[in-house]
Structure 1
Amino acid sequence: MRPAHSIAGAGLPRGVIVLLGTACLVVVVGGMRITADLLAPVFLALMLTVTISPIAIWMRGRGVPLWLAMIANVVAVYLLLAGLGVAMAMSLARLVDLLPQYQQQFLDLRADLASALGSLGIDQAQVMAALDKATTPGQIVGVIEWIFGGVAGVLSNTIFLLAVLLFMGVDAVDYPSRLAASGAQRPQVVGALREFAQGTRRYLWVTTVFGLIVAVIDTLALWALDIPLPFLWGLLSFITNYIPNIGFIIGVIPPALLGLLQGGVEKMIWVIVVYCAINFVIQSIIQPKVVGDAVGLSATMSFLSLIFWGWVLGPLGALLAIPLSLLAKGLLVDIDPATRWINPLVSGGPLPATDSGPAAGRDGRVTEPADPAEPD
């Protein structure tokens, strides 16, 4: 007797199935955009819980009581979040206090720029009106707040985020045993979820290590160049390191601007050169190769993930682009042997081993093994 999914699939042309799937995807993505304020904290809590869950699992393996492992899990993720929030709040407060001191430098820079554009035949009145809107300390603070806005916006909804982290942290302690119990009935689903957790953990650890290296080097370099608030810009480098491909560009703008205000074009160029020598080499050449080998996503897929999740969930979506893509890949590709042919097309590392699932014919269709009780 033929499997039920073979009978159902034979009733509709492949093109119609693709169109229906695409329409469903559009509806799901639209719903995610509408509920982004709710989903973003949940996804952040999920990624943090997946990252620190080995702590509780290790403690349970050493015979630590269940309740103590749960407390350690929750406290660890709370401390991580609190440390990041305090560092961001203190740094932004210092930036707000510092920028008004550069009011005169802003005015001089604006006048020089208007004069240069006026020499090219551009109306200076229109130039000054445009610069009045774009070159004020308040606007610069707004840009920095937008950069930090994804995480800062989630941190502002503290009660909801802490509640989600509490329940996820408690459940994560005995989640491996739950997966093992479900593996007998749904081995493909359990395998996909485990691969997602392992890939997310590898990505976050690798990116965190590279982010710390970049942040320390940037902080020391900016301190040597006498750029104000080097710790803030080092923290910004650490956070934007989680943004694939374009994080380096976002991180260089504020310190380069302060270098321009403090020391002119020469100091700004020095800041850009130092960032290019450090951040570009590490974040754009070395790190993508290591991350691609660790999680199995190509550079193109990483960039498209950034664009897509940033559009759906905002700044926090850009920060969590790779983990969210791994989750989508696990639920839509790895979970079904019939769709695992997509893995080599999106992989950034060594090709995955072929599965002993249903074989694909030359026309791309999956053929089921013949049923000996069914006539040809």
Structure 2
Amino acid sequence: MGIRTFSDIIGPVFLALVLTIAVSPLRRLLVRRGVRTWLAALIALVTVNVFLLGMAAAVAYSVAKLATLLPTYQDKFAELVDDARGWLADHGVGEQQLQAALEKLDLGKFFDLLQSLLSGLVGTLSDLSFVVIVLFFMALDATQFPDRLREAGRDRPDIINALSGFARGTTRYLIVCTVFGFVVAAIDVGVLYLLDIPLPWLWGLLAFITNYIPNVGFFIGVVPPALLGLLDQGVATMLWVIAAYCVINFIIQSIIQPKVVGDAVGLSTTLSFLSLIVWAWILGPVGAVLAIPASLLVKSVLIDADPSTRWLGGLISGGQLPEPAEDTDPAETSADLPPVEDSGERVG
């Protein structure tokens, strides 16, 4: 509840943290190649900002084009409503029921939804300016942060190891989602071109973005192109779009990707879905995109950092646990372990 109260601040800051972690392998690679530390941090910062601002610009341009396209389908929408009215009347649906149902079908409501989407985009752009500023300061701190982690690890090795695991898991998750997102988006764009659906690149971009939303990203990505296919060419095209998305997106995003994500980050499919529900409620739309990294952070702090609760990791893991040794006596196993020296220090 406390995080939700300050979600307008915590959400962008956590997004900046995840993006900083995402480009940290690039910074480390440049340093190993002999690039100065400050220059490597600057290159990583420019890279992530170009990606972030490029995505925002592409979404803004695509949504603006969609806003000019939708009004041209007003007559087609009215024709579809009349056809639906006639079909329902032929199947015994009363006039009053028809009127009550059709009052809810108004293309103007889609325009209102689009207007709210544009307003939300403006708010997102203002948040992006805050994210860019936070990214700048995090990039400065990132140059010295590994040394600080090593220093802190001398006193609190469990916590530092857990936080390092969070960074590794987040990096793996982002790599997996990005690779699958590019594959799905490229195939979707090709299919939409074949079906002659307007604005195929917009729907490919939407498929790429929603790929970071666990489990339900597929449903968010299929509705707009299917609706546009219905308005542009009819029911058959809408069904082809849905069928193509089910074959491509559902198999990859709902079957293959969750298994790979679970193996990569150590979260089960059920926990990944529940993470989406919880973090979307706490942080809003950005929480849906950052659900897995946020759950990884909570897991690292509450489970991985404490030896007494680390056993819970096996219960929520999405990967395969190692096979237990056959015919092993626990007493013999414990006897083979080296003795633990008592340092005289107790940790609360």
Q: TM-score range by the shorter chain?
A: 0.7 to 0.9
Distance 1:325 1:122 in 2: 51
In structure 1, the residue matched to 2:79 is 108
Offset, 1:353: 10
In structure 2, the residue matched to 1:66 is 37
Please give the root-mean-square deviation of Cα atoms over the aligned residues, in Å: 2.4
Distance 2:201 2:40 in 1: 34
Letter of the structure 1 residue corresponding to residue 300 of structure 2: G
Distance 2:46 2:159 in 1: 30
In structure 2, the residue matched to 1:19 is none
Identity rate, percent:
53
| 2:105 corresponds to which of 109, 131, 142 | 131
**Residue range with higher mean Cα deviation, 298-307 or 48-57:** 48-57
In structure 2, the residue matched to 1:163 is 133
- Pair 1:99 & 2:70 matched: yes
CA 209–327 in structure 1, closer or farther in 2 if over 3 Å, else same: same
CA deviation profile, 1:293-328 (whole Å, cap 9, x unmatched)? 100100000000011001111111011110110011
Please state whether the residue corresponding to 2:234 is helix, strand or coil.
helix
Distance 1:174 1:55 in 2: 16
In structure 1, the residue matched to 2:336 is none
- Pair 1:121 & 2:94 matched: yes
Offset, 1:131: 2.0
In structure 2, the residue matched to 1:25 is none
Offset, 1:176: 1.4
Offset, 1:136: 4.3
| 2:188 corresponds to which of 191, 210, 218 | 218
**Residue range with higher mean Cα deviation, 155-164 or 50-59:** 155-164
Please state whether the residue corresponding to 2:308 is helix, strand or coil.
helix
Q: Is the 8 A contact 1:106 1:136 kept in 2?
A: no
1:14-93 aligned at under 5 Å gives the runs: 30-93=1-64
Distance 1:153 1:117 in 2: 42
Distance 1:211 1:44 in 2: 18
CA deviation profile, 1:97-156 (whole Å, cap 9, x unmatched)? 111111111111223334444541251332332223x6644045258x38x95x864332
Offset, 1:370: 11
**Residue range with higher mean Cα deviation, 85-94 or 206-215:** 85-94
Distance 1:218 1:140 in 2: 24
| 2:239 corresponds to which of 269, 276, 280 | 269
Gaps spanning 5+ residues in structure 1: where? 1-29, 360-368
Q: Is the 8 A contact 1:40 1:154 kept in 2?
A: no
Q: Is the 8 A contact 1:155 1:161 kept in 2?
A: no
CA 372–187 in structure 1, closer or farther in 2 if over 3 Å, else same: closer
Q: Is the 8 A contact 1:256 1:268 kept in 2?
A: yes
In structure 1, the residue matched to 2:316 is 346
Q: Is the 8 A contact 1:154 1:161 kept in 2?
A: no
Please state whether the residue corresponding to 2:136 is helix, strand or coil.
helix
Gaps spanning 5+ residues in structure 2: where? 325-329, 331-339
CA deviation profile, 1:269-298 (whole Å, cap 9, x unmatched)? 000000011001111111111111100100
Distance 1:274 1:158 in 2: 34
Letter of the structure 2 residue corresponding to residue 58 of structure 1: L
**Residue range with higher mean Cα deviation, 250-259 or 54-63:** 54-63
Distance 1:305 1:212 in 2: 23
CA 205–353 in structure 1, closer or farther in 2 if over 3 Å, else same: farther
In structure 1, the residue matched to 2:327 is none
Distance 1:135 1:278 in 2: 32
Q: TM-score, normalised by structure 1?
A: 0.81
Query: How many residues are aligned here?
Result: 327
Please state whether the residue corresponding to 1:339 is helix, strand or coil.
coil
Distance 2:237 2:269 in 1: 33
CA 352–140 in structure 1, closer or farther in 2 if over 3 Å, else same: farther
Distance 2:70 2:130 in 1: 33
Q: Is the 8 A contact 2:38 2:143 kept in 1?
A: no
Distance 1:182 1:75 in 2: 29
Please state whether the residue corresponding to 1:226 is helix, strand or coil.
coil
